[in-house]
DNA sequence: AATGAATGAGGGTTCATTCAT
DNA sequence: TATGAATGAACCCTCATTCAT
C-alpha cells in the first residue's frame, strides 16, 4: 500500500521538478520516469499522458488560485489598506505552493494554462483601474497596465526569492508602501498638471 | 554577391522570428530554413549550428547592450535625475532592438545567454544599492532586489507593449515618477520608524 | 460461483465485440477488460493470453462448423436439390452464430485461424468440382474456383445483411435459383461449343 | 540521381508490400524502412507520414479507378453485352494494378479510403438496379444487393487468382455468362410465380 | 554557395503480459 | 478470484546535424 502511493507520489514529484526546470514542452516523460525509478509504462498507469500528469501536478493549487482570483474580481477595494489584507492572504498562499505557482505562471506553455498569467494580470489590472478611477477622472490605461505589471512582478520576485513565509509577507508589505507612495506621487503629478 | 547576403540575411530574419516565437529550444531549424526559402544545408554553410545562428541573431545588439551595461556600472548617479537621462537612452536602444532584446532576455533558455537577464538585474541592483545607501545607512538588500526587479519589469512591459518610441519614453518617465515617489515613501517610512 | 461465471462470460462477450469490431490484431485487451468491468489480471486468470481468449470466443461455433464441414466433404450430392437442403441447414447455423462466424472468417488475421476461410472455400470448391464433373468431362478448375467463391460470398453477404432467419433462408434459396440457372447456362454454353 | 530515385522507389515498394501484407494499421514504418535499407528519418524526407506514403502508393491507380467509377455511374447499359464491354476494360485495369487495388479495397482500414469498397459496391448496385428494373417491376433490393456482391467478389477472386491478363478477361467473360443465365433464371422464376 | 538525401537519437504513447497480494 | 502496479518493446514522428555533390 505504501509502495503504490510512493510510485505515484514519486512520479508527481519528479514531474514537478522536470516541469519546473524545463517547462511543459521540454519536459521529458522518459526523464521523469527515470528519476522516479520506474519505466514509462508505469506513468501511463496513473496518468493519461503528459498533459494529464501536468494537471495532476498543479490541480490543487490551481483550484485555490482560481478561488482567490474570483474573490479578487468581486471585491470592492475602498482604499489601499483593504487591498493589503487580501494581498497578505494571497502571498501566504503563493508561498505554500511556490513550485506549482511558478509552473502555472511561467512553465505552462503548450498547455491550456499558458494564458493563465495574462488572464491574472488582466484581472489585477481591472482591480487597479477601478481603484485609480477614484482619484483620477481618466487615468492612462497604458500606465495602469505597466504599474500593475510592476506590482505583479514584485510579488513574483518575492516568491522566487526563497524567503520564509513571514519574511515574504513583510517584504510584500514594504513593497505595498513603495507602491502606495508611488501611486500618490503619480496622482499629485497629474492633478498638479491639470490644476496648474 | 547580392544573393549571398540575401540568403544569409533571410536566414537571420527567419531565425529571429522563430526564436522570438518559440524560444531557442523549441525553435526549429527546418522551419527557419523553410521560411527563408532555403534548405538546411544552406544554414550550415553560413552557421555552425543552432547556437551559432542564435548568436548571430543577437550579437550586434548584445555588444551594444554590454557597452551600456558597463557604462551603467561605472557611472556614479548623484541623484534620480542623473539616472533618468541614462534611462531614456537605454529605452531608445531597447526599442530599436526590441526583438533581439526580447530574445536575449526571455527566449534564450538552453543557450549560454540564459543567465543574461539575471546578470543584468544584478547590475541594476548594484546601481540601486549605491543609490539607496546615500539615504539609508543599511538598506534591506532583499527590498532593493525586489524594487529593482519591479522597475526592470516595468521597462520590459513598456517594451512588450508595442508603443512608438516617444510614447514609450514618455511612459518610462512617468514610471520614473512612480518609482521615485515610491522610493521617497520608503525612505520616509524607514527613517520615520527609526526616528519615532 | 455465479459471479465467477459472470466475469468470464462478461469477458467473453466484451472480447467478442472487440474482435468483431477491430479484428484480432487491433483488438485491445485493455479495452476488453474495461468494457467487461474488470482488470487485466482477471482476464489472465481465465485465459492464457490474447490468442487464448480468441479461441474461447470462437471454439464452440468452430467445433460445430467443422462438423458441418466434414459432412459437406463426405456427402455425395446427386443433384442441386440435395445441396439446397444442406444449404438451408448451414445458413441457419451461420445465422445463429453470426458474430463468431464473422470473426472466424474475416477477423482472425494474426491467429492460427486466419487460413480458415480459404480452407472452407477449398472444401466447398471440391464439392462443386464433384458436382460439375457429372455434367462436364473436364471443367475448368479456375472457373469452378470463381463460381464457388461467388456463391460463398453470396452467403456471407446475406449473413452480414442483418436479416431475420427465415428471411435469410428465403434469400439464400433465391440465390440458389440464380446459381443453379447460372450453372445450367454454363453447361449449355460449354457443351454447345463442344457439340457444335 | 539514380540513387535518389532508388531510395524513394524502394520505400514505395517496401511500403506497398507491407500494406498489402499487414494492412494500413498494422503496417510498420520501421519495418518498411528496414526492408528498404534506410532509417526512419529517410522516409520522412520523402513523405509526410504513414498516411502520406499510403496515398503515394495508391494515388495513381486510385485516380484511374475513380475515373472508371464515374463512367460506370453515368453510362446507361441497354443490355448485358453493353455491360460486358465496360467489364473487360475494368478487368484489364484492375489486373495492371493488382496490388494497389487489393490495398485500396481490403487493406485500407484506418485511412480515409476505408469506405471505398462499400462505395464502389453501392455504385455497382445502383447500376444493377437500373438494369433489373427493365425486366421486373419491383425487384427485391436485398436480392439485388446480394447478386451485385456476388459478381463483385467474382471479379475480386479472379484478380486475386494470379492469372495472366487475357486469361483473366476470358474468365470474367465466362462469369458473365454464368451471371446472365442466373439473372434470366431469376426473371423466369419470378414472373412465373406471378403468372401462375 | 547551396542542394537534397540520410542518419540516429529522442519525443509521447499503446500494448500484451507478468506478478505480488 | 481478481486487483492493480509495473515492465519493456514497439508504435509514429521530429529533430539537429552531416555530407557527397
The beta-carbon neighbor of C174 closest among D143, D157, D174 is: D143
Task: Count the residues in chain A.
Answer: 196
How much is the pLDDT for A74?
Answer: 79
How much is the pLDDT for A125?
Answer: 94
Is C98 found in the same domain as C184? yes
- Phi/psi for A105 (5° steps) reads -80, -40
Buried b (16+ CB within 10 A) or exposed e, D113-125: beebeeebbeebb
Q: Is residue D196 part of a domain?
A: no
How much is the pLDDT for B16?
Answer: 96
Through-space separation of residue B40 CA and nucleotide F19 C1' in angstroms: 12
Identify the CATH number of the domain in which residue A11 sits.
1.10.10.60
Is A102 found in the same domain as A37? no
How much is the pLDDT for B194?
Answer: 43
| Count: domains in chain B | 2
Q: What is the residue-level pLDDT of chain B in tens, covering all 196 positions? A: 455 568 999 999 999 999 999 999 999 999 999 999 999 999 999 999 999 999 999 999 999 988 888 887 777 666 666 777 788 888 899 999 999 999 999 999 999 999 999 999 999 999 889 888 888 888 999 999 999 999 999 999 999 999 999 999 999 999 999 999 999 999 999 887 544 3
Whether nucleic acid strand E comes within 7 Å of the CB of B9, the answer is no
The beta-carbon neighbor of C157 closest among D149, D181, D184 is: D149
**Domain housing A184:** 58-191
Q: Which of residues 33-62 of D touch strand E (CB under 7 A)?
A: 38-42, 44-46
Is A33 found in the same domain as A85? no
Through-space separation of residue D24 CA and nucleotide F3 C1' in angstroms: 36
Calculate mean pLDDT across residues D147-153.
Answer: 97
Whether nucleic acid strand F comes within 7 Å of the CB of C44, the answer is yes
Through-space separation of residue C42 CA and nucleotide F1 C1' in angstroms: 8
Is B98 found in the same domain as B5? no
**CA A152: distance to chain centroid?**
8
**Separation of alpha carbons D109 and D114, rounded Å:** 5
How much is the pLDDT for D88?
Answer: 86
All 3 cell numbers of residue D12? 514505395
pLDDT digits (tens, 9 = 90+) for A138-177: 899 999 999 999 999 999 999 999 999 999 999 999 999 9
Is A88 found in the same domain as A38? no
**Separation of alpha carbons D123 and D69, rounded Å:** 8
pLDDT confidence of A1, banded at 50, 70, 90?
Answer: very low
How much is the pLDDT for A194?
Answer: 44
pLDDT at D24 over 70: yes
With an 8 Å Cβ cutoff, are D142 and C163 in contact? yes
Is A178 found in the same domain as A90? yes
Is D176 found in the same domain as D116? yes
Q: Is residue A52 part of a domain?
A: no
- Interface C-D, measured as beta-carbon pairs within 8 A, has a size of 104
Is B76 found in the same domain as B23? no
Nearest 5°: CA angle at A102, between A84 and A58? 105
Calculate mean pLDDT across residues A106-132.
Answer: 93
DSSP C129-172: HHHHTTT-SS--HHHHHHHHHHHHHHHHHHHHTT--HHHHHHHH
How much is the pLDDT for B10?
Answer: 94
Is B62 found in the same domain as B43? no
Minimum mean pLDDT among B26-30, D44-48, D128-132: which range? D128-132
Is C150 found in the same domain as C83? yes
The beta-carbon neighbor of D146 closest among C146, C149, C157 is: C157
Identify the CATH number of the domain in which residue D174 sits.
1.10.357
Nearest partner of B97 among B137, B134, B68, B126, judged by Cα: B68
Q: Is residue D13 part of a domain?
A: yes
How much is the pLDDT for B88?
Answer: 86
Touching status, chains C and D (3+ beta-carbon pairs under 8 Å): yes
Fill in the DSSP letter of residue B49. S
Minimum mean pLDDT among A36-50, A143-157, C28-42, D75-89: which range? D75-89
The per-residue pLDDT of chain D, averaged, comes to 90
How much is the pLDDT for B80?
Answer: 63
pTM for this one? Answer: 0.89
- Chain E footprint bases within 7 A of protein beta carbons: 1-20
Q: Is residue D38 part of a domain?
A: yes
Q: Give D84 to chain C, closest Cα distance, Å.
A: 16
| Ranges in chain C, pLDDT < 70 | 1-5, 77-80, 193-196
Residues belonging to chain B with any Cβ–Cβ distance to chain A shorter than 8 Å: 25-26, 109, 140, 142-143, 145-147, 149-151, 153-154, 157-158, 161, 163, 171, 174-175, 177-186, 188-189
Which parts of chain C fold into alpha helices (H)? 2-26, 29-36, 40-46, 50-74, 80-96, 98-106, 116-132, 141-160, 165-195
Is B1 found in the same domain as B25? yes
All 3 cell numbers of residue A17? 521538478
With an 8 Å Cβ cutoff, are A153 and B158 in contact? no
All 3 cell numbers of residue A63? 483550484
Q: Which of D157, D187, D193 to mutate to test the interface with C (most CBs of C within 10 A)?
A: D157
Fill in the DSSP letter of residue C79. S
Q: Is residue D29 part of a domain?
A: yes
pLDDT confidence of A77, banded at 50, 70, 90?
Answer: low
**Separation of alpha carbons B113 and B19, rounded Å:** 13
Is D80 found in the same domain as D147? yes
Amino acid at each position: 500500500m505504501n509502495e503504490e502511493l510512493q510510485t505515484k507520489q514519486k512520479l508527481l514529484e519528479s514531474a514537478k521538478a522536470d516541469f519546473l526546470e524545463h517547462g511543459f514542452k521540454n519536459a521529458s516523460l522518459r526523464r521523469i520516469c527515470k528519476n522516479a525509478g520506474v519505466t514509462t509504462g508505469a506513468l501511463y498507469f496513473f496518468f493519461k499522458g503528459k498533459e494529464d500528469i501536468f494537471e495532476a501536478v498543479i490541480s490543487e493549487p490551481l483550484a485555490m488560485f482560481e478561488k482567490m482570483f474570483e474573490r479578487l474580481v468581486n471585491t470592492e477595494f475602498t482604499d489601499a489598506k483593504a487591498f493589503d489584507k487580501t494581498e497578505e492572504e494571497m502571498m501566504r498562499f503563493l508561498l505554500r505552493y511556490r513550485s506549482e505557482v511558478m509552473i502555472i505562471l511561467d512553465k505552462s506553455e503548450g498547455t491550456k494554462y499558458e494564458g493563465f498569467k495574462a488572464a491574472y494580470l488582466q484581472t489585477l489590472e481591472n482591480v487597479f483601474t477601478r481603484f485609480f478611477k477614484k482619484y483620477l477622472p481618466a487615468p492612462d490605461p497604458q500606465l495602469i497596465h505597466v504599474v500593475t505589471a510592476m506590482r505583479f512582478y514584485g510579488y513574483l520576485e518575492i516568491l522566487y526569492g526563497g524567503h520564509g513565509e513571514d519574511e515574504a509577507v513583510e517584504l510584500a508589505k514594504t513593497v505595498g508602501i513603495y507602491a502606495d507612495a508611488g501611486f500618490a506621487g503619480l496622482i499629485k503629478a497629474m492633478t498638479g498638471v491639470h490644476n496648474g
